[in-house]
Amino acid sequence: MSALTLVIGTRNYSSWSLRPWLLLRHLGLPFEERLFELDSAEFASEVPKLSPSGRVPVLLHGGLRIWESLAICEHASELAGGRGWPQDAALRAQARAVATEMHAGFAALRAACPMNVRATGRRVAMTPPLQQDLRRIDAIWSSCRRDHGERGPFLFGGFSVADAMFAPVVLRIRSYGLPLSGLAGHYRDHMLADAHLSEWIRAAELETRVLPHEEAGAGA
């Protein structure tokens, strides 16, 4: 297999970069990282040379350039013999549905609660759209844990692309103290204890870059 390089943005803020990074780690696929600080001159000049969309993440695999976090996760899963998804076809279909729902949705949560891994103790006004996103996330996590809890600690038992897609949501819920029901809260806690996610959090805590929209530093 040709070498893999994952191009990512500043860990503290780049929620899309975290998703394939975490999946590659869980799949045990060796890869190099190239990090470009978000909103920097170097990002603006170098990333478009590597990424057709001009955004991160992008996976470099031999001559291939794969952009879009979900497409990268699919490719990584194929390289790992399909281990990125549940083996059972029915579970796999459900896991794909929730991963895609995450990739395409939850705009209110994203807008109100930008990812800032280092931030804790933040508060946010609970608007109806945010409440609706949070209820839906709680429903997905709770039903997955109820239905698949005996298979393992992640949404569909073993770690899958679905968990990778929700990892930044776990961090947002932590930063903004968003309420969850019991089962969903257990899932959040399990994810926060994950060794690979903890490695990302520790690295984000060491970063010094502060994006302009975070300059007020509300809890960062």
Ligand X SMILES: N[C@@H](CCC(=O)N[C@@H](CS)C(=O)NCC(=O)O)C(=O)O
- What residues line the site for ligand X (CB under 6 A)? 9, 14-17, 38, 54-57, 68-69
Nearest CB to ligand X, comparing residues 8 and 91: 8
Nearest CB to ligand X, comparing residues 54 and 177: 54
Hey, what amino acid is at 190? H
Nearest CB to ligand X, comparing residues 115 and 155: 115
Distance CA 189, CA 200 (A): 16
| Residue 40 per-residue DSSP state | S
Distance CA 177, CA 38 (A): 25
Specify whether the CB–CB gap between 36 and 58 falls below 8 A: no
Find the shortest distance in angstroms from Cβ 209 to ligand X.
13
Preceding amide of 57 cis, omega within 30: yes
Nearest CB to ligand X, comparing residues 69 and 160: 69
Find the shortest distance in angstroms from Cβ 74 to ligand X.
12
Nearest CB to ligand X, comparing residues 110 and 190: 110
Find the shortest distance in angstroms from Cβ 53 to ligand X.
7
Residue in the block written with tokens 């794969």:
66
